[in-house]
Structure 1
Amino acid sequence: MRVDFPVRPGLRMECADGRRLVLVQEAAGGGPVPVLFARQRATRRGVHYARTGRYASPLAALRAERARAYAAYAPPGGGAWTERWAAHAEAELRAAEAGPLHAGAWRLGPDAGGWFVERHWEHLLPHDRDRGHLTWFGYGDPAGDARDLLPLRALSAPDAPRVKAYRRQYREGVLPPVFAWWISGLNVPVVLDGHDRLTAALAEGGRPPVLVLSRSVDAEWVALCAERPVRAYEERMAALEDGPPHRTRAANAARRLAAELEAVTASADPTRAWPFPGGPAAWDAAAASAVPGWLPDADG
């Protein structure tokens, strides 16, 4: 989707020297408030984070009637159902004053970056804390740090009333997707909307459908990345033409090329971040005020 405005969104990343990051959100009738502080490790092996408890979803609360109507429109989990929910989220995000959209090209759809590893889902509920660490590549970090989705607020208890309602929807097969936003500085998608739906699916022993928002790569990048697979495909096809006909091999080569080009087109562009006013000293002061006692080991 193409977005023409605003230039600076109401929910945005800001950064300062020393691998300092903060997610801020414009409060209704006020200025920006910090939602999430983060500090990348010097070794590039992960990121420390601290939530402030002040995040508010930019999407309106979903009613059960909409979930059942969309499930009646198309089989849940299928392409038409996914497109319907993506269209709903796009309309909500375009109208939101405290959402992440800003001028540029965006993509909202199923996980195209392969972010979600099956064995990591079991770590999410028991290891969801307001202050923690996300590992990027393992490297001896605790297993619980291997999480592929970062909630922006504390997850509710599995027996909370709203979660219980969503658990019922999950059992009925009509649970709406979780909407996430991939932030390159964190190297993980964060939950924009659907924290209770996420808990409900996991509490039922399942996995939630997730639609991920990200900036789209531009046409020049797609063309550059497509050169090598296209050249390899042409070489494979030329080799087939010199020998006996191999229709199956030719069809497989075409499918492989299509998959590689689709992966390039669906890849995410880095998230834009704005300078944090006042630089590192101001960031340190803001973190000390918002999340007192948080001392990330950023040098490890």
Structure 2
Amino acid sequence: MRVEGPVKPGLRMECADGRRLVLMQGHAPVLFARQRATHCGLHYARTGRYVSPLAPLRAERARAVAEFAEPGEAEWWKRWAAHAEAELRGAAEGPLHAGDWLLLPDVHRWFKAVNWPTLLAHDPDRGHLTWFGYGDPVEDARDLLPLRALSVPEAPRVKAYRRQYREGVLPPVFAWWISGLHSPVVLDGHDRVTAALAEGGRPKVLILARAVVDDPWVARLSARPVEEYQKRVAALEGPLAASRIAHLSRSLADDLTAIIGGYDRTLAWPFPGGAGAWDAAAASYVSGWAPDVDR
């Protein structure tokens, strides 16, 4: 989707020297983060001030979309993407700013099945996200960062969403890919995350990201899989050739979709006052947080 403005959004990343990051919503910081010097991960601290830029979803809408299209099918994703786009375009404190954006399912297969249960069991307000896992605690390998604490599985709103999950109509979670965190964050749907995991399932996720607008770059990345596909198809013979070609074609389509849907880097604005002001703000909003960022 093409967005004409604003230049600086209400929900935005700001940064300062020393790998200091902060997610701002209006004038309030909602997440402080420090990247490690070894680039193996980052430490974060939530402030408890995040507010979803999307209006609460009613059960009637979830069921209406599920009646229109089977959950998980292309038309179902399109309906929910259109809903999220409309909400985000009208949000004063959302992440959209001028440029080209994507709002897609997980075409890059970012979410690993093994990491989902960890999210429900280990989601501290002050924690660490590992990017590669070498020598880091296993529970730090999480693929999605909530911007507020997840509710308990027995919370009333979560229980309502759990019923929707059992009915097969639960709406997707809306996330935002932030390159400086090397992770998507939950824009809307924290209770839907809990509901799906509490039912032993996995939430469906739509990911917002800046789009890569670079046709030569896309063409370069696409050339090799297309060439490999052509060679393999040309070598196929016999009665199973047609089914194998169909399989290779689906695989190529997935590869090209992932390339075209590449995520561009997230823009960040300078934090007013630089590193010193950032340190003072962190001390004020997340008192006592002292991440070990040198290793």
Q: Report the TM-score, using the length of structure 1 for normalisation.
A: 0.92
2:261 to 238, 262, 266: 266
CA shift, 1:252, in A, is 5.3
Map of 1:20 onto structure 2 = 20
Q: Is the 8 A contact 1:240 1:250 kept in 2?
A: no
Q: Is the 8 A contact 2:107 2:257 kept in 1?
A: no
* Whole-angstrom CA distance in 2 between matches of 1:64 and 1:113: 29
Structure 2 unaligned runs (5+)? none
* Whole-angstrom CA distance in 1 between matches of 2:253 and 2:262: 14
Map of 2:209 onto structure 1 = 214
Map of 1:225 onto structure 2 = 221
Query: C-alpha offsets along residues 222-241 of structure 1, whole Å, 9 cap, x if unaligned?
Result: 1232233334445556x649
Question: Secondary structure of 2:171's partner?
Answer: coil
Q: Is the 8 A contact 2:53 2:188 kept in 1?
A: yes
* Whole-angstrom CA distance in 1 between matches of 2:231 and 2:152: 56
* Whole-angstrom CA distance in 2 between matches of 1:253 and 1:161: 46
Query: C-alpha offsets along residues 204-248 of structure 1, whole Å, 9 cap, x if unaligned?
Result: 1111111111111112321232233334445556x649x999666
* Whole-angstrom CA distance in 2 between matches of 1:275 and 1:220: 30
Task: Give the direction of change, closer, same or farther, for the CA distance of 1:288–1:165 in structure 2 (3 Å limit).
Answer: same
The amino acid across from 1:13 in the alignment is: M
Question: Secondary structure of 1:49's partner?
Answer: strand
Task: Give the direction of change, closer, same or farther, for the CA distance of 1:293–1:172 in structure 2 (3 Å limit).
Answer: same
Residue 293 (str. 1) matches residue 293 (str. 2): no
CA shift, 1:83, in A, is 0.9
1:107-118 aligned at under 5 Å gives the runs: 107-118=102-113
Residue 138 (str. 1) matches residue 143 (str. 2): no
Task: Give the direction of change, closer, same or farther, for the CA distance of 1:249–1:64 in structure 2 (3 Å limit).
Answer: closer
Question: Secondary structure of 1:154's partner?
Answer: coil
1:43-54 aligned at under 5 Å gives the runs: 43-54=38-49
Task: Give the direction of change, closer, same or farther, for the CA distance of 1:95–1:114 in structure 2 (3 Å limit).
Answer: same
CA shift, 1:257, in A, is 3.5
Map of 1:104 onto structure 2 = 99
Map of 2:177 onto structure 1 = 182
Task: Give the direction of change, closer, same or farther, for the CA distance of 1:75–1:248 in structure 2 (3 Å limit).
Answer: closer
Q: Is the 8 A contact 2:104 2:208 kept in 1?
A: yes
How many residue pairs get matched? 293
Query: Larger deviation: 255-264 or 172-181?
Result: 255-264
Q: Report the TM-score, using the length of structure 2 for normalisation.
A: 0.93
Task: Give the direction of change, closer, same or farther, for the CA distance of 1:121–1:244 in structure 2 (3 Å limit).
Answer: closer
* Whole-angstrom CA distance in 1 between matches of 2:230 and 2:203: 40
Q: Is the 8 A contact 2:175 2:188 kept in 1?
A: yes
CA shift, 1:254, in A, is 4.4
Map of 2:82 onto structure 1 = 87
Map of 1:72 onto structure 2 = 67
* Whole-angstrom CA distance in 1 between matches of 2:104 and 2:79: 11
Map of 2:273 onto structure 1 = 278
* Whole-angstrom CA distance in 2 between matches of 1:156 and 1:181: 20
CA shift, 1:259, in A, is 3.0
The amino acid across from 2:216 in the alignment is: E
CA shift, 1:273, in A, is 0.9
Identity of matched residues, %: 69
Q: Is the 8 A contact 1:113 1:268 kept in 2?
A: no
Map of 1:29 onto structure 2 = none
* Whole-angstrom CA distance in 2 between matches of 1:233 and 1:122: 37
* Whole-angstrom CA distance in 1 between matches of 2:115 and 2:274: 35
